[in-house]
Amino acid sequence: MSGTETTDPGPRAEARPEGRTEGEGQIEDAVEGAVEHATEEAAENVSDGQSAGEPEGVEPAPEAPRTAEAAPAREREGRDAGPWIELLEHVHLPAAMVDLDALDHNANTLVGALGERRLNIRLVTSALRSTGLLRHLFTTGPRALQGIHCSSVAEAALLAELGFDDLLIGAPPCRAKEAAAVAELVASGRHVLVLVDELAHGQLLSAAAQEAQVEIGVCIDVDATWQPVAEVVLGTRRSPVSDSELARTLADQLRGLGGLVVRGVMTWESGTAAFRPGAPWWAPGLVRPAMRRRSAAAAADKRGAVVAALREDGHPIAVVNGGSTSTLDLAIGDPTLTEISVGAGFLAPVRADDVGLDLRPALHFALPVARRPDPERVACLGGGWIGAVDGKALLPQVVWPRSLQPIPGDAWGEAYTTLQATDGEAGLRIGDPVICRPGQVAPVMERFIEVLLHRGATVVEWAPTYRGLGLPG
């Protein structure tokens, strides 16, 4: 079926309005007869090769080439188009969009999942990457949204410059210049906590703290890998601090350097416990949930032992951080935690589908139809913004039109994404939008300098992304 649907009107009915006089009937019957005769004559001319309505001896005009606007068009307001057509009518494509209604719903859902626990949710910026989104969540979201979990010292400095505070820097400083920037943040009055897991990190920070005459708070990152059997280690190996004794030794060394105070403990168990039912893994499906529970419980036990040991040694541990979107349901059962870091759950990319919460996709991107190799296929500009987890690609999904599906080996490319209709012709014009949902947030947000924030078909704001603010990915 072409994009323009036609309907059969069925057999013609006798149209004889009431009150028609006999004379009027005779005139109308005569007109109808003349029309029928002319129609039959035109049909005979066409069958002889002559175009209807053209005099004899005149060559018919060549058929005009079909333009993009004349192409069969899908019923764009139907087929689950939602607000997209109206919203994007005057927007340059490709574009990234965030549905604020879905974002608000997700924020309330995540906080609601905490139940009676008096926990804070710290916003993970690697899965938001826009100060506009941060401001929106802090100003309109639930009060349990407190603090920012950022990825680097440079990011923390930018956020502080823009007025944000309560910054947990999730990457230890590796150079003296980075440590000096942390000291400057503290000297300016910002509340900063820096992740460390070995003495070298502390030495950099201590030198900067003493130079600036400030006290820098540090957070010890505790290894969260899980070893269920010999020679099998699950999780992401990051920190050498694997038990309470090693944490106690490091904390005492940091205290002895001067200018530092151990105020926090973090254990990122998501890399170990995030065995979602839909995620590929070597363990059978029935084993994964048990592994997930056991690994999360092991991380909680280790975290609790570390916190108890450090407090016993006199370290003022005020922040105990752990969990993630994918392990939120398990983390809330740990009485040691004071906060949970959450990122992907707010925008709900494909990666968050198996979390088990009522999350709504909030982030989408729109690609313009740029080429049409045949009636069933369209080539869209861009789209190759692919995420990855555990070395496995996280591909985007087509949201609208739903009949379009990626062609294996020819989709999500750097230059073009070729899609094929599963129900006949694609029925899209050049310039029409194709709406997609990302596998992960960062690959899309790092592509654009601003993101369109909307409610339904109404544009609320164009918010700068980190790239738009000059912060590298």
Going by pLDDT thresholds of 50, 70 and 90, the confidence category of residue 8 is very low
Distance, in Å, from the CA atom of 410 to the CA atom of 464, rounded to the nearest integer, reads 31
The mean pLDDT of 219-237, rounded to a whole number, is 75
In a domain, 19, yes or no: no
Going by pLDDT thresholds of 50, 70 and 90, the confidence category of residue 252 is very high
Distance, in Å, from the CA atom of 269 to the CA atom of 246, rounded to the nearest integer, reads 18
Range with the largest mean pLDDT of 28-37, 152-161, 267-276, 290-299? 152-161
What pLDDT is recorded for position 14? 32
Q: Are 269 and 326 in contact (CB under 8 A)?
A: no
Q: Are 241 and 224 in contact (CB under 8 A)?
A: no
In a domain, 112, yes or no: no
**447, 423: one domain:** yes
Going by pLDDT thresholds of 50, 70 and 90, the confidence category of residue 414 is confident
Q: Which domain holds residue 393?
A: 84-95+360-464
What pLDDT is recorded for position 327? 85
**318, 370: one domain:** no
What is the tens place of the pLDDT at every residue in 41-96?
434 443 444 433 333 443 433 333 333 333 344 454 355 677 999 999 999 999 99
What pLDDT is recorded for position 408? 79
Domain stop point among 325, 349, 373: 349
Domain count, the chain: 2
What pLDDT is recorded for position 249? 97
* pLDDT exceeds cutoff 90 at 286: no
**248, 169: one domain:** yes
Range with the largest mean pLDDT of 5-14, 31-40, 458-467? 458-467
What pLDDT is recorded for position 226? 66
**Residues in a beta bridge with 436:** 365, 398
**205, 240: one domain:** yes
38-52, 248-262, 355-369, 407-421, range with the lowest pLDDT: 38-52
**323, 402: one domain:** no
Distance, in Å, from the CA atom of 97 to the CA atom of 366, rounded to the nearest integer, reads 8
What pLDDT is recorded for position 315? 98
In a domain, 281, yes or no: yes
**379, 293: one domain:** no
Q: Are 247 and 308 in contact (CB under 8 A)?
A: no
The mean pLDDT of 215-228, rounded to a whole number, is 87
Q: What is the mean pLDDT of the chain?
A: 81
In a domain, 312, yes or no: yes
Going by pLDDT thresholds of 50, 70 and 90, the confidence category of residue 228 is low
What is the tens place of the pLDDT at every residue in 356-397?
899 999 999 999 999 999 999 999 999 988 877 766 788 999
Which secondary structure element, helix H or strand E, spans residue 273, and what is its range?
helix 270-273
What is the tens place of the pLDDT at every residue in 436-448?
999 999 999 999 9
* Listed residue (105, 138, 48, 38) closest to 346, CA to CA: 105
Distance (Å) of CA 285 to CA 48, 71, 289, 325: 70, 47, 8, 21
CATH of the domain at 421: 2.40.37.20
In a domain, 32, yes or no: no
Distance (Å) of CA 338 to CA 115, 128, 335, 365: 14, 22, 8, 35
**279, 377: one domain:** no
What pLDDT is recorded for position 32? 42
Q: Which residue has the higher pLDDT, 39 or 348?
A: 348
* Listed residue (337, 332, 308, 336) closest to 321, CA to CA: 337
Going by pLDDT thresholds of 50, 70 and 90, the confidence category of residue 106 is very high
What pLDDT is recorded for position 64? 33
**341, 372: one domain:** no
Residues 6+ apart with CB under 8 A from 273: 226, 292, 295, 296, 299, 326, 327, 330
**327, 373: one domain:** no
Residues 6+ apart with CB under 8 A from 207: 176, 179, 259
58-62, 105-109, 151-155, 210-214, range with the lowest pLDDT: 58-62
CATH of the domain at 299: 3.20.20.10
Range with the largest mean pLDDT of 27-36, 408-417, 455-464? 455-464
What pLDDT is recorded for position 48? 43
In a domain, 64, yes or no: no
Quote the pTM value: 0.80
User: Percent of the chain having pLDDT more than 90?
Assistant: 60
In a domain, 78, yes or no: no
What pLDDT is recorded for position 77? 38
Domain stop point among 303, 328, 349: 349
In a domain, 138, yes or no: no
**259, 378: one domain:** no
* pLDDT exceeds cutoff 80 at 107: yes
Domain stop point among 349, 370, 391: 349
Q: Are 413 and 92 in contact (CB under 8 A)?
A: no
**368, 344: one domain:** no
What pLDDT is recorded for position 387? 79
**393, 285: one domain:** no
